[in-house]
């Protein structure tokens, strides 16, 4: 599960016969003009293009000072043709990383974690083996993906699955989909592989980093990372539709679309999965509206003091998205209209979300209920997100 990753081009997109349905709903202080704006031609066209190109459905949720509005196209369930509902919960993938980073930065503000201390101080003996050394990697480097640690999770390109990385997990296989993993098992798999580069030499997006950060939170606080996220973020912000799945939980609570995945060229229902393989790097569930509220609160200083927020916004080049910058669990996102946009995004079998908050406080979350299966499809999702940000 990654933020914006390249996906395999081996699986062809399966076409669907349904005609794209575009609808807009509004709540709060929105007016008919807001709805019309949300359905502006560029956004409407890009969403319809996504559905025509093979994505089952797409939802765009706008949030900000003037309330919330939602635009949908296509189907949340191909069997019934029902659209993705406004209150639909989805697996938010690597947006989980920003929740984890926020808790870590709160602990930094409390003086309980030092950003530039070695990981070994908090997790003695955990990062060790095959050249991996927790004494040489800092907490900051975990947050910013500059640790050099190998990823326990296979990427989207099958050509990256080679003999040197046989320990990597492939989440679209039944062997991984239904098995329950502990964080120790995930890190153990990573430690069977050598580092990818020297700590601090560059940034390469790696899920191992955020599983370790989850372990660090638990070691420092004496509570589960899920409990810390709930008590520090979810409850204070009233994110009623956001949660960290319980151990062994495979379904999605409440209203949700079907999540589809291309497996060996066939589209399958991938809604149910044991997301423990994603752990604190990407296991959470939420809604577009909740994601918007979370990122707005983070970026306006509600969740972390300004000093820590400034650190989160210090970026390095993001290897998964040209022109973007990766901070400490935050991504500076390039858009065609020149707005300054910060967010993250997430990909997990069944769902992809792209989200960001512009400097005017307007937030956008776009969700599709199937991962792209080609770079062209991934680019189409980015085009729709860009249109949404520049429309909002």
Q: Residue 45 sits in a domain of what CATH number?
A: 3.40.710.10
pLDDT of residue 154: 87
DSSP per-residue string spanning 77-130:
-TTT-PPPPTT--EE-TTHHHHHHHHHHHHHHHTTS--TTSBHHHHSTTTSEET
103 and 135 in a single domain? The answer is: yes
Asked if the model's pLDDT at residue 275 lies above 50, the reply is yes
End of a domain among 197, 213, 229? 229
58 and 154 in a single domain? The answer is: no
Q: Is residue 139 part of a domain?
A: yes
58 and 112 in a single domain? The answer is: no
111 and 213 in a single domain? The answer is: yes
Average pLDDT, the chain: 89
Render the burial of 328-354: b for 16+ CB within 10 Å, e for the rest: bbbbbbbbeeebebbbbbbbbbbbbbb
Q: Is residue 133 part of a domain?
A: yes
Q: Which domain holds residue 292?
A: 23-93+279-391
Distance of alpha carbon 217 from alpha carbon 183, whole angstroms? 12
Q: Is residue 242 part of a domain?
A: no
Report, in angstroms and rounded to the nearest whole number, the Rg of the chain calculated over CA atoms: 20
Q: Is residue 270 part of a domain?
A: no
3-state secondary structure of 342: strand
85 and 106 in a single domain? The answer is: no
Q: Is residue 219 part of a domain?
A: yes
219 and 185 in a single domain? The answer is: yes
Rounded to an integer, the average pLDDT of 166-180 is: 90
Q: How confident is the model at residue 317 (pLDDT cuts 50, 70, 90)?
A: very high
Number of domains the chain is built from: 2
Which tokens is 373 given?
């299966």
Active-site residue list = 94
Can you state the percent helix, strand and coil of the chain, rounding each to 5?
35, 20, 50
87 and 119 in a single domain? The answer is: no
The size of the chain, in residues, is 392
Residue with tokens 């679209």: 172
Phi, psi of 382 (to 5 degrees): -65, -40
Rounded to an integer, the average pLDDT of 109-121 is: 98
166 and 291 in a single domain? The answer is: no
End of a domain among 162, 196, 229? 229
pLDDT of residue 22: 53
End of a domain among 187, 203, 229? 229
Q: Is residue 78 part of a domain?
A: yes
52 and 172 in a single domain? The answer is: no
3-state secondary structure of 298: helix
Asked if the model's pLDDT at residue 271 lies above 70, the reply is yes
42 and 70 in a single domain? The answer is: yes
Rounded to an integer, the average pLDDT of 323-333 is: 97
84 and 100 in a single domain? The answer is: no
75 and 149 in a single domain? The answer is: no
Q: Is residue 27 part of a domain?
A: yes
Asked if the model's pLDDT at residue 38 lies above 50, the reply is no
Rounded to an integer, the average pLDDT of 47-66 is: 96
């Amino acid at each position: 599960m990654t933020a914006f990753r390249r996906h395999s081009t081996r699986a062809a997109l399966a076409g669907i016969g349904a005609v794209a349905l575009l609808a807009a709903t509004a709540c709060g202080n929105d007016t008919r003009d807001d709805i019309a704006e949300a359905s502006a031609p560029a956004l409407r066209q890009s969403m319809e293009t996504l559905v025509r190109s093979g994505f089952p459905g797409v939802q765009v949720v706008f949030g900000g000072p003037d309330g919330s509005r939602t635009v949908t196209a296509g189907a949340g369930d191909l069997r019934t043709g029902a659209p993705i509902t406004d209150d639909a919960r989805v697996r938010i993938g690597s947006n989980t990383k920003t929740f984890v980073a926020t808790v870590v930065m709160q602990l930094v503000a409390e003086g309980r974690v030092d950003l530039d201390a070695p990981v070994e101080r908090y997790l003695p003996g955990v990062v060790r083996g095959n050249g991996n050394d927790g004494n040489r990697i800092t907490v900051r480097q975990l947050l910013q993906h500059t640790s050099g640690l190998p990823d326990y999770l296979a990427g989207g390109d099958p050509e990256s699955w080679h003999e040197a990385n046989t320990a990597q997990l492939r989440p679209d296989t039944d062997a991984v989909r239904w098995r329950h993993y502990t964080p120790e098992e995930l890190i153990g798999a990573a430690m069977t592989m050598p580092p990818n580069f020297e700590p601090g030499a560059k940034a390469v997006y790696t899920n191992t980093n955020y599983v370790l950060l989850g372990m660090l939170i638990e070691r420092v606080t004496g509570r589960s990372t899920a409990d810390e996220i709930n008590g520090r973020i979810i409850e204070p912000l009233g994110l009623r539709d956001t949660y960290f799945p319980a151990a062994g939980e495979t379904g999605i609570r409440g209203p949700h679309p079907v999540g589809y995945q291309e497996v060996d060229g066939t589209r399958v229902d991938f809604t149910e999965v044991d997301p423990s393989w994603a752990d604190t790097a990407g296991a959470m569930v939420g809604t577009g509206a909740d994601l918007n509220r979370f990122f707005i609160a983070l970026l306006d200083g509600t969740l972390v003091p300004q000093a820590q927020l400034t650190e989160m916004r210090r970026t390095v080049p993001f290897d998964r998205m040209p022109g973007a910058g990766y901070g400490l669990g935050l991504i500076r996102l390039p858009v065609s209209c020149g707005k300054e946009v910060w967010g993250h995004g997430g990909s997990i079998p069944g769902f992809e979300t792209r989200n960001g908050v512009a400097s005017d406080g307007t937030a956008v979350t776009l969700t599709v209920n199937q991962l792209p299966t080609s770079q062209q499809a991934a680019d189409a999702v980015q085009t729709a997100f860009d249109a949404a940000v520049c429309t909002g």
